[in-house]
Amino acid sequence: MIRLIAAICLATPAVADVGPLPRADVFVLGELHDNPDHHAMQAELIARIAPSALVFEMISPADAQAVTQIDDPAALGAVLRWSEKGWPDFAMYHPIFLAAPDAVIVGADVDRDDLMAAMQGSAADVLGIGVTGFNLWTNFGPDYDGLIADQRDAHCGMLPEDMLPGMVEAQRLRDAALALATRDAFDDTGGPVVVITGNGHARIDTAVPALLATLAPELSVWALGQFETDPGDAPFDAVHVTQPIPRDDPCLMLAN
């Protein structure tokens, strides 16, 4: 598959085209959560895709069921408990909802108790044996050491080594929840389905697209990663690079 790179420089508009979109059943649109340009790109692509369902990492299934209207950003953010959960300014995300006003909103957030159970045991334990044909580890064989290294880097090397396997299990549980919600959304609506999530869950080698390949191999999936510097040979079908936004050093924040 051809890997596309769309780049933004300081003199260009906030959104650059990633090129023609393929025919796909599922579009996984990654992001850096606090970068407004990434959400602008998601909204632009959603308007082109016209999905039947939008699956969000940030929204719980129960909160998604409570959505009755999307025009009022303050009311919608309150229903979704957005600020309560600590996500960046909802104003950045609201255009995503408006870009597909008739789409079904699907929540794939994982309950905190389930996350803790996964960290203390395993994601597979939380999922249970009822998820037929769906194995988080053996079906596509991700590099476990690589997943550990990713969590080490994501936490600036500040976590004790014995905590890292639990963080990987939590990540895998979120991947699984997103994949399951996406499969069900496609079955319910006929697609296409768009998934809004962080870049880590959009990777085609270890995350939601890879799990969908085993859970629902009949579905075609296209994944976008969005970054602020060229990520090189990154595991996505396309990459969108924007200028960085001002932010505090996250490693300094962890240190404090």
Please, what are the domains in the chain? 4-13+24-255 (3.40.50)
Bond into 192 cis (ω within 30): yes
> What predicted TM-score, i.e. pTM, was given to this entire model?
0.90
Mark the ranges of the chain whose per-residue pLDDT is less than 70.
1-16, 129-142, 253-256
Q: What is the pLDDT of residue 188?
A: 98
Q: Is 181 exposed, middle or buried (0-12, 13-18, 19+ CB in 10 A)?
A: buried
